[in-house]
Chain A
């Protein structure tokens, strides 16, 4: 997908400026119906001339490390602070992607973020949408940022 590089850049920028973590993007891939184990996902909708979903999927350990860095406080379990931090990450990523997809700023809006977590769950896109997932690594941890968009209509 043509936006893979944009997502990689936006994610790196947000992590280095807001979370104070340097993250390294890997090769874009298609995340086909794979289940997530002991993870947390932040999900936000994009609506307007381009409709879509932006999601960040974090294994619990990565979520804890990121929340600790982001909030500057120690977190040891997936609690409300972690959910809020992951939702806020989705919100910031959504904002950056919106700026890339819609430079004029008037055609796309982002919805409210939601955080989902659990021992085993799946997050599936339902619309006929183009999707790309990009893996990132930092300090031996990994996470995925995924964008699904459907242009037109």
Chain B
């Protein structure tokens, strides 16, 4: 099903066409516990052909840069605009993945996005699920796109 490949393609497409930021994908991280050192995340559930949770996780500077570029304004702290922008990106990523999977006759439905923010938090993944985490670079640093999934 090539989750990693689809995530990279979708992320690059959205950043190029909607946010106008150049991103480069790095090697997917190993499974297991990861301390990503992130301060703002947006997550969205996907259901249908498989069950999943897609997330974008950003350190503060990267979250500000991405949402600033998307909204065309300068942002100085993690506020409602940043959470909304990342939620919208999670939504677009999930939409892009839905489209890509639909070409393989795998139907998906999206839930609504939710934001997690704070100085220190960990997003755990269930031992029973599969997980792909792909780091992407922009000038200001690294962010992570994560997909946890269970094939039905």
Contacts and interface: CB of A to CB of B under 8 A. Distances in A.
Contact of A116 (B83, B112, B124, B126): B124
B26 interface: no
A43 interface: yes
B14 to A, nearest CB: 17
A120 B46 contact: no
Given A116-B121, A117-B121, A120-B119, A111 B112 contact: no
Interface in A70-119: 80, 83-84, 87, 109-119
Interface string B92-127: 000000000000000001111111111111111111
B132 interface: no
Contacts, number: 136
B124 A121 contact: no
A148 interface: yes
B118 A122 contact: yes
A55, A80, A121, A122 pick with most chain B CB within 10 angstroms: A121
Interface of B is mostly: strand
Contacts of A52: 111-112
B58 to A, nearest CB: 14
Nearest to B47: A109
A114 B148 contact: yes
A18 interface: no
A123 B119 CA distance: 13
A150 B112 CA distance: 8
Contacts of A114: 43, 53, 55, 123-125, 148
Nearest to A149: B112
27 contacts: A45-B46, A46-B45, A46-B111, A48-B47, A84-B126, A109-B51, A110-B51, A111-B47, A112-B51, A112-B53, A112-B126, A112-B150, A115-B126, A116-B121, A119-B119, A121-B118, A121-B119, A124-B80, A124-B83, A124-B114, A124-B116, A126-B42, A126-B87, A126-B88, A127-B87, A148-B112, A148-B114
Interface of A: 35, 43-48, 51-53, 55, 80, 83-84, 87, 109-127, 129, 148, 150
Interface of B: 42-48, 51-53, 55, 80, 83-84, 87-88, 109-129, 148-150
